[in-house]
Structure 1
Amino acid sequence: MRNRLTTYVHPNGELQRYQIVEAFNWNHARFVTAGFDPRSVTEIARLYRINIVPKLQQSIGLPVFFHVPPDIPLPFPVADEHEVYHDRNVAASIHLNRLAREHHIRWEGSLKADAKEIEAFLSALQNRNLLEAVVQGTNPIRFIALNEKLGFLSSHKSTCIVDTHFFLMDPTDLDSPYCVLGTPHGLALKDGVILNPPLNHRPCLLVDEHGTVSIDVVELTDLSVEIDGTKYRHGDNAVFHFRPEERFTPKTEGTDLIITEDKVVSVRKGGGSTIPMAGFILSVPASLDVADPKVVYHGLEHYAFGIQVGPPMMKDGRIITTLECPFYNAAVDEVPYPSTVYPLPFETARAARIALGNNKEGEPVLIWAEGAPKLSYTPAQDSCGASLLELAQFCEREQFQSIVNLDGGGSAQIILEGKRSLQIADRYASTNLEAERPVPYGLSIV
């Protein structure tokens, strides 16, 4: 594994620093999660307090971030005559938001609930640092659950680790009651096993069993989905509903299986479900119960590795100079789909960037374009950040072959041998020190 740092100087004197890690083995790359870290609640609340609530105060209300661990019992049912919840945080979010809408939960300097068991539940979460309200917001209260994978890459022991996927983050990403902040979206595939399904018609970086790298579009409808030993195929014994084609499933006499990542989060009778932003709904015409919520995907077993996140930068040695794949555009698209605030202008919007693919020798390569510090920027001293076009142009200068853009912004980082060679763009206001953002997935290379 080789590691190098390089600096590109723009004609106006601005600097852009890059870290390139290459010549590792695709067989040694695997998707990992650090597991839920309670500090994620505090960090997400801080990001909302600084960046989001001031801009969206009228529409977002008073956000309350929380995560329910397995050892804290839920004070409400997980099933009724119409729906069975298989995800505790989805169930908690739906019930808590209903109680808030009905004014059975209020903000009175702290969270107050009419029912003692609900107030005790909220207190138990708060005492474990698993709940935090952003009180600069205004009513109504909005409870926002955090994904169980949300943690910090720096806590994971690995030779090299890098953030990978976009994940639900902005309020506009949380468009369905089945949305949980921090849920990754896009294909994650290792040794033929699909950890996360392909969504939103974006291209995937694929590596076959011989190590050949390609960029291709893989659709959810190309796959079969196995639940409780039964395989379902779109248009055969089931219908797959997903964004951007649809926002709701039709009313039916059958059953909706609401799916995110590799699990059924809810089973709803009668249809009329809001499709999750980072998932899809599998509808069957009959009444159906689910014993095991585990979802197994079939159809990509001949690939050793696959990832689907952002747009391609290079394809077969050819630079990509425009956004060659769909992203949500509020002026054009009727149905929102993640990421709803991405992309910014391809040519001009600069940020920290992460990219993955292969170099001119065909070896795997990782790229980190360091972003400008969020609180202050000194030209010709700090990295200015790279637009997607500038990242593509850098990849062309380096003669890289097939490259896709991964997660970026404040999440962008490469940790090699326990250290960062470049700096994270997010900073703490009081100290200007780096503020690591929690993420659901990392790509670990050992």
Structure 2
Amino acid sequence: MRNTIITETHQNKEIQRFQVVEAFAWKNLQFASPGFDAGAIREIARLYRLNIVEKDPSAYGRLVFFHVPENIDLPFSSRSKDMWFFSRNITAKVQLQRLADEGNLYQDGTWISKDTSARLFLNQLEAEHYLEMVSGKKDGITFIPIDGKVGFPSSLDSPLVVNSHFFLMDPTDLDSPFCELGTPHGLALKDGVVLNPPLNHRPCLLVDTKGTCHTTQVELTDLVVEIDSVQYRHERNAIFYFRPETCITPSSSGTDIVITGNSVVAVKQGGNTRVPMAGFVLSLREDIAVQETSVRYLGLEAYQFGIQVGPPMMRESSMVDSLCCPFFDPLVAATPFPPTVYPLPFSTARAARIALGTNREGEPVLVWAEGASKRNYQRGKESAGASLLELAQFCDRQHCQEIINLDGGGSSQIIYEGKRYLKIADRYEDNSEAERPVPLVLVLSTSCSQ
């Protein structure tokens, strides 16, 4: 691999720093999850406390962040009225929220539910650091499960680690019972196997088996979805419902199968299913019982790698100078879809950025645009961050061919041979770097060429 740090200085004394990593092979680039770390709950609670709740305490009640590990027994039924749940986190969320909505559940720092098993369960989660609460001034409790993939990139042992996908993070990203904070969304494809389906009508970066890379549009409805060895095709033997077109499925006499990633998370009879932000609903006319929760996607077997996250920066060696694909805008969109909070001003909204694609030789390249400190920005000492346009302009100056923007902001980082060469934008009170937990990263296998 080859690692280069580039600093650009502007007339107003602002600086922008970029890290460029090259000379690796697509075949060695893998998707990985850091794996759940209980410390992620603490960090997410801190981010909410400082960046969301404290800005408008009157808008929030008690937000309860939690994760149910396998070693803690779940005291709830996996069935609720007309729904069956296949996720421990979602089962707990639905049942705990029901208890909270029915009456007082928490008082003076103590769980007081009349349901003894629920009270013991909450106490155990809290005692083992799988639960943390952030309190605003509004009445009420909202339970927010944390996806089991969420952990810290620095925990992974690889020559290269980089955050990849957008994931559900803001409160407005979590408007369905089937949403977990930290769930990634957008295509993730490796060696013809779809790990995460395409969503939200954004372009995908695809690499074929010969190593040719291009940016193209791939829709969920282009794929075949296989569950229990049965193959489903949109508008043939099933209907695929997803955002932004659909927020709630219509009434029906059949079965709605709720899917996120490559797993069935719930089944509901009768329709009227709230579509998950980071997934979709496969709707059938008949009643069925799901036996195996794993989901396969067929149709992209000809590609060795694929990713879909943010907007493209470069296409066919030409710079993209505007937001050319859909992102949620509450002024024009009736149905929210993630990320619901995004710096839409393409040319002015600066942040830390990550990008992936091909360099002037058509070989893989990663770019990290360092962001400004969120606590103590000093012009000329701290990087100013980059707008999407500035990132595209940098990639154009580097003569890149195909580039797509990945997840940025406080998540943005490249760990190269065990070290971060640039600084994370998230900071603690003393301005030291605060590593944000994420669910999905890209790593290089240890057999990668140097």
Instruction: Bin the TM-score by the shorter chain.
Output: over 0.9
Which residue number corresponds to residue 358 of structure 1? 358
Which residue number corresponds to residue 25 of structure 1? 25
Which residue number corresponds to residue 263 of structure 2? 263
Task: Say which is worse superposed, 51-60 or 12-21, in terms of deviation.
Answer: 51-60
Cα distance in structure 2, aligned partners of 1:332 and 1:163: 30
How many Å apart are 1:137 and its aligned residue?
A: 4.6
How many Å apart are 1:12 and its aligned residue?
A: 1.4
**Equivalent residues of 1:99, 1:105 under 8 A apart:** yes
**Equivalent residues of 1:60, 1:171 under 8 A apart:** no
Question: CA 1:266 to 1:41, structure 2 compared with 1: closer, same or farther past 3 Å?
Answer: same
Which residue number corresponds to residue 117 of structure 1? 117
**Equivalent residues of 1:350, 1:386 under 8 A apart:** yes
Which residue number corresponds to residue 213 of structure 1? 213
Q: What TM-score results when the alignment is normalised by the length of structure 2?
A: 0.97
Which residue number corresponds to residue 51 of structure 1? 51
**Equivalent residues of 1:104, 1:114 under 8 A apart:** no
Matches within 5 A, 1:33-432: 33-429=33-429, 431-432=430-431
Cα distance in structure 1, aligned partners of 2:264 and 2:94: 16
What is the CA deviation profile of residues 17-62 of structure 1, one whole-angstrom value per residue up to 9, with x for unaligned ones? Answer: 0000011000000000111000010000000000011234333321
Cα distance in structure 1, aligned partners of 2:112 and 2:317: 59
**Equivalent residues of 2:374, 2:427 under 8 A apart:** yes
**Equivalent residues of 1:254, 1:269 under 8 A apart:** yes
**Equivalent residues of 1:205, 1:308 under 8 A apart:** yes
Q: Which contiguous aligned blocks of 4+ residues in structure 1 show a shift greater than 6 angstroms?
A: none
**Equivalent residues of 1:213, 1:402 under 8 A apart:** yes
SS of 2:124's partner is: helix
Instruction: State the one-letter code of the partner of 1:244.
Output: P
**Equivalent residues of 1:242, 1:281 under 8 A apart:** yes
SS of 2:150's partner is: coil
Which residue number corresponds to residue 437 of structure 1? 436
Instruction: State the one-letter code of the partner of 2:388.
Output: L
Cα distance in structure 1, aligned partners of 2:128 and 2:185: 28
Which residue number corresponds to residue 9 of structure 1? 9
Instruction: State the one-letter code of the partner of 2:26.
Output: W
Task: Say which is worse superposed, 288-297 or 98-107, in terms of deviation.
Answer: 98-107
SS of 1:386's partner is: coil
What is the CA deviation profile of residues 225-280 of structure 1, one whole-angstrom value per residue up to 9, with x for unaligned ones? Answer: 00011010000110000000010000100000000011000000111000000000
Structure 1, unpaired ranges of 5+: none
**Equivalent residues of 1:178, 1:276 under 8 A apart:** yes
Instruction: State the one-letter code of the partner of 1:437.
Output: R
What is the CA deviation profile of residues 353-405 of structure 1, one whole-angstrom value per residue up to 9, with x for unaligned ones? Answer: 00000000011000000000110111011100000000000001110110000
Overall identity of the aligned pairs, in %: 56
Instruction: State the one-letter code of the partner of 2:284.
Output: V
SS of 1:12's partner is: coil
Cα distance in structure 2, aligned partners of 1:350 and 1:219: 29
**Equivalent residues of 1:349, 1:386 under 8 A apart:** yes
How many Å apart are 1:111 and its aligned residue?
A: 2.9
Cα distance in structure 1, aligned partners of 2:9 and 2:384: 10
Cα distance in structure 2, aligned partners of 1:339 and 1:394: 25
**Equivalent residues of 1:107, 1:141 under 8 A apart:** no
Cα distance in structure 2, aligned partners of 1:321 and 1:220: 26
How many Å apart are 1:110 and its aligned residue?
A: 3.0
Cα distance in structure 1, aligned partners of 2:336 and 2:81: 30
Cα distance in structure 2, aligned partners of 1:293 and 1:58: 40
Cα distance in structure 1, aligned partners of 2:250 and 2:58: 31
**Equivalent residues of 2:58, 2:136 under 8 A apart:** no
SS of 1:98's partner is: helix
Instruction: State the one-letter code of the partner of 2:153.
Output: L
How many Å apart are 1:108 and its aligned residue?
A: 2.4
Instruction: State the one-letter code of the partner of 1:441.
Output: L
Residues paired across the two proteins, number: 445
Instruction: State the one-letter code of the partner of 1:272.
Output: N
Instruction: State the one-letter code of the partner of 2:340.
Output: T
How many Å apart are 1:81 and its aligned residue?
A: 5.0
TM-align CA RMSD: 1.0
Cα distance in structure 1, aligned partners of 2:438 and 2:114: 35
